[in-house]
Structure 1
Amino acid sequence: MKDLDLSELDLSTIGSWPSAVKAAVVVVMCLIVLGAGYFLHIQNKLDELERIQAQENSLKSEFEKKQAKAANLDAYKKQMKEMEESFGTMLRQLPSKTEVDDLLIDISQTGLGSGIEFELFKPQSERQIDFYAELPIQISMLGGYHQFGRFVSGVAALPRIVTLHNINLSSDKDGNLKMDVTAKTYRYLDEEELAAARAKNRKRKR
């Protein structure tokens, strides 16, 4: 066996090879088969396992997020209800189209009740913004600091929303104080106006 020359081995006479040689050949063949099986089958399975594990982690993370949202669902519903109630309260502070004239009278009477004298009280053109319309009013009035203060406080106390912008105080040659201001009031759009606004926006996007 020690003097065996591998070059003398012939595959056609494999049956007559020494037992040790045949055993060695069997071992080598087994290793080749196992290696081929690993690379052709097991490696693919391992790659697939890694993909499944990564997918499992992703699904687990997504499940935990959804579970957290589900746990807070009641809190979200409560918060939504509070927001709807708050929005409804704010919306009720916006006059309808038919109430705007009354609101303009309220602003004018607030000024007269404060002791000021109107030089100009001129409503401007409406400007539609989303679900409401903005109505600016250009006002010029004469009076004193305390009278102007009472006017501003009275406007703030009105049940409808009125905001004051671009306030400018000046005095004439006789020392009389003049205040120029833009008052803005708002009203909500009715369904027909909202539909017309949506149609107009769709045309602009085309």
Structure 2
Amino acid sequence: MSPLRKKSLIKTKKSAIKAQGPLTPPKKSFDFNDFRRSFESLDTQNSGSWPLPVKVTVLLLIVVFIAAMAWALPISSKIDEIKASESEQQTLLETYRQKESRARHLNTYKAQVAQMDIEFNTLLDQLPKETRVSELVEGINMTGVGSNIRFQDISVEPEIENEFFIEQPIRIAALGEYHQFGSFISGLAALPRIITMHDFEVSNPQPTLEAIPELNLILQTKTYRSKEVTPDEEAADD
């Protein structure tokens, strides 16, 4: 082989070697036992000499610990505050909706209140200015006589003062039969005065099958009169 051809072959081999580049060692697979042993042989006084995998692992553990502490302490408390604020916001929104609805219907409410006030005053004007207890007791007595019941007691109790009117309670105790009591109650309702009946009690003191029993009736009635308005109260209303 001629010298020129040898030189040409040598140059070709060198070019091929340069094209291939330096030879790299084969990659080593991860060995967990080696990784664990690297932790066991750590020098706590010289952390700079630790292997790179150990440094990365320790750094990740520190980051995870810091994130957990940040969540457990300030972030979790802030989340609770946010939830409480959201709940309060819903309450405030509901209150606002109710008030806004009332504001939109305010004129309607005012008209209704004014109409109710007129009707209420009309009813108050229908009440007598005086109770006239004697006339009322006489009317009750006559109604009882017409119903064939026998009175045991008719007690006029103290008046009860309310804001707009005065109640006059009258307690009635009588003896009679069922149909007589029914007739008596109907007669009270037909009296010209407004009379309401409360807390009535009917009892049979001597039960028997031989005759129609005579029953006891305890009845609380109330009549009403309008309350006189003094000049001081009129001035306060104005």
Instruction: Report the TM-score, using the length of structure 1 for normalisation.
Output: 0.52
Q: Report the equivalent of 1:46.
A: 79
Q: Which has the larger radius of gyration?
A: 2
Cα distance between partner residues in 2 of 1:29 and 1:125: 90
Alignment of structure 1 residues 1-206 onto 2, 5 Å = 3=34, 5=37, 6-97=39-130, 128=159, 130=162, 131-132=165-166, 166-167=186-187, 182-184=191-193, 187-191=225-229
Distance 1:134 1:21, change over 3 A: closer
Cα distance between partner residues in 1 of 2:50 and 2:98: 68
Cα distance between partner residues in 1 of 2:60 and 2:122: 87
Cα distance between partner residues in 1 of 2:77 and 2:43: 37
| CA shift for structure 1 position 12 | 0.5
| CA shift for structure 1 position 135 | 10
- Gapped runs of 5+ residues in structure 2? 1-29, 136-154, 171-184, 195-223, 234-238
Cα distance between partner residues in 1 of 2:53 and 2:99: 65
Distance 1:134 1:14, change over 3 A: closer
Paired residues of 1:133 and 1:188 also in contact (CA < 8 A): no
Distance 1:93 1:55, change over 3 A: same
Paired residues of 1:126 and 1:133 also in contact (CA < 8 A): no
What SS does the aligned partner of 1:167 have?
helix
Superposed CA RMSD in Å reads 3.5
Paired residues of 1:135 and 1:184 also in contact (CA < 8 A): no
Distance 1:126 1:42, change over 3 A: closer
Cα distance between partner residues in 2 of 1:27 and 1:16: 18
Instruction: Among all aligned residue pairs of Structure 1 and Structure 2, give the percentage whose two residues are the same amino acid.
Output: 26
What SS does the aligned partner of 1:11 have?
coil
Distance 1:58 1:135, change over 3 A: closer
- In structure 1, what residue type is equivalent to 2:108? A
Q: Which is bigger in relative contact order (C-alpha 8 A, separation at least 6)? A: 1
Paired residues of 1:128 and 1:134 also in contact (CA < 8 A): yes
Aligned length: 131
Distance 1:190 1:126, change over 3 A: farther
| CA shift for structure 1 position 187 | 3.5
- In structure 2, what residue type is equivalent to 1:184? R
Cα distance between partner residues in 1 of 2:158 and 2:64: 85
Cα distance between partner residues in 1 of 2:74 and 2:169: 76
